Structure 1
């Protein structure tokens, strides 16, 4: 089983769509480990604020299958297939880490480069997987966060209200070596 970490975010009715996405993720990959959710400003465009979090789970699925599943969940959350990159969105699900995999395949770049550039991805990763090592940088998520300078992009922890229908686990196990 490979540990997978996925960023989830929405700035269009975010509580509704994040709850829906978590419900669908739980059906596909339970149990899930959820970070706290964070309210933060849109990046790259002017728009409503986002709510972001990170979800961790283990799977035997291949990376392409996980990506396909995430795209299905985005579609179930009313995200158009041709949604603009820097625009409001009902749901955005991005694979941050997939075990120790390094991939530069178009549409499946892992680890996600934004992970170490965006506080709304890195901070939730630290919350659930502080000791997981970045597969190319060799530093833990905690070490990357401690060196991060993201004060210009404030985030506020928020509650999503109802918990998803699957159980939340404790701290997420780090990826197994060699996977």
Structure 2
């Protein structure tokens, strides 16, 4: 019997060390995991830090994956990848980090526990999530807001000056 595969969208970012290489290593780790297949990778973007602004700019991207993991298992896999690439971890919330992986969408699921909320609760406020999402999942539907990342990005770009610059 075939195991069920789910589609998920992830946000990935780095602002320490060789940022592009950090993203590439994380993508490689995910794609080599037995429960995950990376099926889409957005362009890479240089992005202004949010929340804690006194730090280096990030490189961000979005990933589309097929996974046999449930949301909790996928979160554990992402945390394992973060730990394997960044032994020290981030010093504080929103602080600098070698790699940061977040689940943005998991199918059309709405899910909330103490450690995980799907869809990501702040995605609609973040150009650094929405801009890359538009590359690979611009027509996906936010299961709560009933809008696409493209629609959400258009709305937020009018209200904010968050810089998101395409890297070549």
Q: What TM-score do the two structures reach when normalised by structure 1?
A: 0.83
Q: Does 1:158 align with 2:167?
A: yes
Between the aligned partners of 2:91 and 2:77, the Cα distance in structure 1 is 17
Between the aligned partners of 1:61 and 1:10, the Cα distance in structure 2 is 24
Partner of 2:42: 35
Partner of 2:58: 50
Give the paired residue count.
159
Q: Describe the SS at the equivalent of 2:63.
A: strand
Partner of 2:27: 22
Q: Describe the SS at the equivalent of 1:32.
A: strand
Q: Give deviations 1:107-155, integer Å, cap 9, x for gaps.
A: 1111002210000001111111111100001112222222222551111
Partner of 1:120: 128
Which runs of 5 or more residues in structure 2 are unaligned? none
Q: Does 1:143 align with 2:143?
A: no
Q: Does 1:2 align with 2:6?
A: yes
Moved over 4 A (4+): none
Partner of 1:177: none
Q: Does 1:100 align with 2:108?
A: yes
Paired residues of 2:38 and 2:63 also in contact (CA < 8 A): no
Q: Give deviations 1:10-47, integer Å, cap 9, x for gaps.
A: 00021221111011011122243001111012112210
When the two chains are superposed, the root-mean-square deviation of aligned CA atoms in Å is 1.5
Between the aligned partners of 1:30 and 1:103, the Cα distance in structure 2 is 22
Q: Describe the SS at the equivalent of 2:133.
A: helix
Paired residues of 1:79 and 1:90 also in contact (CA < 8 A): no
Partner of 2:142: 134
Between the aligned partners of 1:141 and 1:81, the Cα distance in structure 2 is 29
